[in-house]
Amino acid sequence: MEESLLNDIVIIFLLSIFVTIVCNKLKLPATVGFLLTGVLCGPSMLGVVNDHKTLDTIADVGVAMLLFTIGMELSGEALNRLKRPVFLGGSLQIGLTILAVAGLFMVGYQLSWQQGILCGCLAALSSSAIVLRIMQERGLTSTPAGRLSLAILVFQDIMVAPMLLVVPMLSGTITLSLNDVAYFIARDALVLGGVLLFARFGLDRLMNAIMRTRTREILMLSTLGMCLGMALLTKMLGLSLSLGAFLAGLMLARSQYSMSVISGILPYRDVLMSIFFISVGMLLNVQHLFQNFGVILAGTFLFILIKALLSLPAVLVQGYPLRTAIMTSLSLAQVGEFAFVLAASGLAAGLFDMLAYQNFLAVSVLTMMLTPALMALAPQIAARFGGKQQERLQETTEAETPLSDHLIIVGFGISGKHLARVARESGITYTILEMNPETVNRYRGKEPIMHGDASQPVILEHLSADKARVLAIIISDPTAVRSIVIEARRMNPNLHIIARTRFVTEVATLRRLGADEVIAEEFETSIEVFTRVLSRYLVPRQDIDAFAARIRQENYRMIRRMSASVASLDATVSRLPDMGVQAMRVTPASPLCGISLAKSELRHKYGVTLIAISRDEVTQASPDATFIFQEGDIAYLFGSTDKLLAIAPLFSGPPSTSAKEARLSVPNADTKKTV
């Protein structure tokens, strides 16, 4: 059996590669490619898969992992806002769908009320796997439509167990007393209450113990154990696997190590989710589809229309605009994966015949295949019928405010602490990422700090690296620094990346990989050493600063020569950051005080251009030659990095002379040329 399963998986993966490449060429989403792969592998086509039962189990685990990551991405504030949509929106959506569909089938098809209720239950469920996966890929989970869809899907998962319990009752095979119902409710409440107590009082201690080992394998095993263990527990209680995994994700979401957990589980989730979509595609009987194509196609579009209309009131009653309601209802207008289990139970109980079951499977798979296109068209349909401005306002007020134009600090050692302090005092929004769990625990609640590996793309996405202005990498691992620079530059081409490294030989490599500025500890330490040595010999401070500026200029020239060997467009682009903008404050001791821009000769003598000046919080762009510098002005200068470094003493002024003497000496001070 093991060899047969391995053969099935190898064939599925090889075929899915080919199909998804073709779908990519046709601009179709990967989800459709996996569904089509399942159709090809299914018994009605190639019939290459033998162990369907094991594949279905693997697919269920993939859905559970998806709900686990969704639960982990919910903050406490977002979860608190979901209470009303879950119970009010979810109950309305399911209740209205069951009543309307049951009435339709009873009147239109002369079915019994038991069969009508079962049809209503099948129609009420939507696909968490497909909807949430697409929303994650398109970044829609934090929008009002995304949160409402999640809330309703969670309530649908909660209702799977009662629906499965109702099926044998509808067929008359079992009866339940009031005592039985009370027992099931008390048992479930007791078990879930114990889980909540563990999450409240024991989870943090367990995660701290795990993270102190600093072993990635232990973290991965613990994550999978909690995810699948909670899923198995809810399965034993008669609930769904995915609901248990979702609850496990909610538990771990409140841990400061949540991002580290997510980064480890994502590869497994994506692989298992692809198997889920393939397993759904294998359910489609192609011969039955072609024989009844007209009826099935009409039924598919009728189902989408009816379910979308019945889902609208569940959103509108909560005060959301029509546009949000349309987008939410269209995203839920497909048959859910748990409806297959419910339909199989109905078939076994005699509430379905085989023809109706095959029609249901065909309509279900087609609605799933149409979901990506339907969700892509949803904004245009909603804008046409529901308006635009109201929804934009709603999204602005309801969606969580993401970080933007902020500073990301990777590493919270001495340098990171100093950077965070000056950023806070300067009013700069920043967030911190640190790998040491003890440091995270120590500063949790005091700083915007979290635990995670910045070389993982999902971590950078969570930090909103695509919207950040500056990324400061202040860690000592050269391999990690390179990985972070590559991922950050790929995610945000406009991000200004400043990296620290130990050795000068690393500077050119990091610049080629995408870092805008690289600070070598070896180089800066050498400058600090000779600065202190010369100070002990009472060498004037101006001369020391001049030495430091000259050495820095030589260092930048050396870096450019080292980088010049790479003759490519990427190398050319990587050298562009040598030209930049620097802000300089005019101090009282600066020789520029009281001098015009023309007399300062900033461009001719020092090789920099004044592009703007800020005085009394008013910024003037491109000041003319008659502009007079004053104490406290902030000058914005454009030029090469070495020139900007060399001109710094001109704005700070020599500390050993008075401002008046410095100003008098500027016109004839040949020594300024060496600064």
Radius of gyration of the chain, Cα coordinates, nearest whole angstrom:
32
- Is residue 46's pLDDT more than 60? yes
Give the pLDDT of residue 668.
39
Between 415 and 571, the higher pLDDT residue: 415
pLDDT at residue number 556: 59
pLDDT at 121: 93
Q: Kindly tell me if the per-residue pLDDT of 73 is higher than 70.
A: no
Q: For position 303, what pLDDT does the model report?
A: 94
Residue 476, pLDDT > 80, answer no
| DSSP H or E run through 593 | none
pLDDT recorded at residue 332: 94
Q: What is the pLDDT of residue 145?
A: 85
- CATH number attached to the domain at 578-674: 3.30.70.1450
Query: Average pLDDT for residues 423-449, to the nearest whole number?
Result: 85
CATH 3.30.70.1450 placement within the chain = 578-674
Closest CA to 153 of 289, 354, 333, 280: 333
Q: 108 burial class (0-12, 13-18, 19+ CB within 10 angstroms)?
A: exposed
The mean per-residue pLDDT over the stretch 446-459 comes to 83
pTM of the predicted structure, to 2 decimals:
0.58
The string of pLDDT tens digits covering residues 304-360 is 999 999 999 998 888 888 888 899 999 999 998 778 878 888 888 888 888 888 899
CA atoms within 13 A on the CB side of 565: 6
Task: Considering only residues 267 and 25, tell me which one the structure prediction assigns the higher pLDDT.
Answer: 25
- What are 358-402's pLDDT values in tens digits? 899 899 989 988 998 899 888 888 878 865 444 443 443 344 446
pLDDT band of 197, cuts 50, 70, 90: confident
CB 462 within 8 A of CB 473: no
pLDDT cut 90: percent of the chain above it: 13
Structural domain 407-539, CATH architecture: 3-Layer(aba) Sandwich (3.40)
CA–CA separation, 276 and 337 (whole Å)? 9
pLDDT given at position 455:
80
Q: Looking at per-residue confidence, does 278 or 214 come out higher?
A: 278
HSE-CB for 442 with a 13 A CA cutoff: 9
Range of weakest confidence among 218-222, 296-300, 434-438, 517-521: 434-438
Q: Which positions ≥6 away from 175 have C-beta within 8 Å? A: 169
Residue 430 CA neighbour count, 13 Å, CB half: 27
What pLDDT sits at residue 471? 94
Of 61-75, 370-384, 403-417, give the lowest mean pLDDT range: 61-75
pLDDT digits (tens, 9 = 90+) for 129-174: 788 888 877 767 767 888 889 889 888 877 877 887 788 788 776 6
- Is a pLDDT exceeding 70 seen at residue 658? no
Q: Which residues, 6+ apart, have CB-to-CB distance to 337 below 8 Å?
A: 63, 127, 128, 129, 276, 280
Locate 460 and state its tokens: 């950078």
| 8 Å CB contact between 470 and 495 | yes
Tell me where in the chain the CATH 1.20.1530.20 domain(s) lie: 2-397
| pLDDT bracket for residue 657 (50, 70, 90) | very low
Residue 398: the pLDDT is 42
Predicted pLDDT of residue 87: 85
Q: Where in the chain is the domain with CATH 3.40.50.720?
A: 407-539
pLDDT digits (tens, 9 = 90+) for 613-630: 988 878 888 888 889 999
2-397 — its CATH code? 1.20.1530.20
Give the span between the Cα atoms of 561 and 557, in whole angstroms: 6
